[in-house]
Structure 1
């Protein structure tokens, strides 16, 4: 009888697995920040610097300024003092960082809060212009990006950074709905257009991802290339999708409703998108 002995080392040796291409988490976050910045610029150029963009948005503004479409639910925004809100958020960030003994995290949170708010005002008041493309029936001054939406989203992102990671999902999800109300209310009150609201969200996200990239640079975590590419490309797709949907509305009332809905949906979607990208990022540095 002939016995055949199996070569155990050969039989048990695992097959070579195909390595999944990956990049450092910090680099992926920087790519995401760049993607949000590109989408911000695209929103401005597409909605503000083209006749088609101005036309699809001005119908909503005219309808809101008639005074017949403003809903009661948006009126409380008139009573909100954004300076007080930002001041309270700043104090909260400092206190949280002191309680957690994370001074650097507090500084990062303040940068994520103040950075986009200051930049949005500089861009809106001194840098960006709204060209005259023949739409004379509405205010011609530049309103891009929305200061209210920028401030609201900045508070949410800053708190998501400075609070312990177990609170991050709740802050971004609940905060996203709060920002959605602010975005829709600014359109309802005739203060802003849809592009102004999504521009504010994109600006905050760019700052948030940049801050997250700096905070995560000490960690060696890596992410697959595909999610990193999605993070860089998806923000621009949000803008293009918003333009495509808003362009389907042909009457003033339809444009008004579409602008409100798009502003709210975009705020929630961008908050959720940030949660998807930031949920595993470690911010707990000394």
Structure 2
């Protein structure tokens, strides 16, 4: 059910920000403001940060950490599912960017180049969700807040660097969240992880 809500949110974000004049204008204003920070020397730092998010070696290390956490927490299949969420999120974002079109509403400084959803933000969010899948319920709260801050930093960096719009970041998080919920539902359905006990 949660996955459906997130997918509806994803569709709504695309509809509101991409296929309406007002949405494109809001995206443009937010992007211009973010790029303004880049003019103060933050663009290079944002690009450097984003290079880490897309680094294959770093991703391999993080995958190893997720698998180790899953093994230590006796949730190995949840860790494997988490890694699948990361891969599916990146692949999904890549495919969706080629499918979703951006109409021309003659919005000032707007381009027809579609960048919805952000693959970098989807990857960052999916890594957080993957680790949360591998952890038991009580431990997830320990990483939820710092993880959300990290994902937010990546999202802002994509805008400061001029790579993505605000809506792209929202779309990336919603996509990764929906895939995570689907993975969790599958794990429970086939009995690979126990259902949480209702108290």
- What TM-score comes out, normalization by structure 1 length? 0.60
Does the CA contact (< 8 Å) of 1:62 and 1:138 recur in 2? no
**Paired residues of 1:48 and 1:130 also in contact (CA < 8 A):** yes
The 1:220/1:57 distance shift into structure 2, 3 A limit, reads closer
Instruction: Give, in whole Å, the separation in 2 of the partners of 1:92 and 1:200.
Output: 23
Q: CA deviation at 1:40?
A: 0.2
1:46 aligns with 2:16: yes
Q: In 1, are the aligned partners of 2:73 and 2:134 still within 8 Å (CA)?
A: no
Task: Decide whether aligned partners of structure 1 residues 102 and 220 sit closer, same or farther in structure 2, where only a CA change above 3 A counts.
Answer: closer
Partner residue of 1:198 out of 167, 170, 178? 170
**Which among 167, 170, 185 is matched to residue 213 of structure 1?**
185
1:111 to 81, 84, 107: 84
- Gaps of at least 5 residues in structure 1 are 1-30, 224-279, 281-286
SS at match of 2:37: coil
Please tell me whether the aligned partners of residues 62 and 137 of structure 1 are also in contact (alpha carbons under 8 angstroms).
Answer: no
Offset of residue 139 of structure 1: 3.2
Check conservation: 2:118, 2:164, Cα contact below 8 A: yes
Give secondary structure in 1 for the equivalent of 2:55: helix
**Matched residues in 2 for 1:167 and 1:75: separation?**
35
Q: Which residue of 2 aligns with 1:86?
A: 59
Deviation for aligned residue 1:118: 1.1
- Counterpart of 1:129 in 2: which secondary structure? coil
| Alpha-carbon distance in 2 for matches of 1:215, 1:83 | 29
In the alignment, structure 2 segments of 5+ residues that lack a partner are none
CA apart distance, 1:99: 4.2
Task: Tell me, in whole angstroms, the C-alpha distance in 1 between the residues paired with 2:145 and 2:32.
Answer: 32
Output the TM-score relative to the length of structure 2. 0.84
- Aligned pairs, how many? 191
Larger Rg: 1
CA distance in 2, matches of 1:137, 1:100: 50
* Residue 69 of structure 1, aligned match among 37, 41, 56: 37
- Cα distance, 1:210–1:91 mapped onto 2, change above 3 Å: same
CA shift at 1:177, angstroms? Answer: 0.6
SS of aligned partner of 1:204: helix
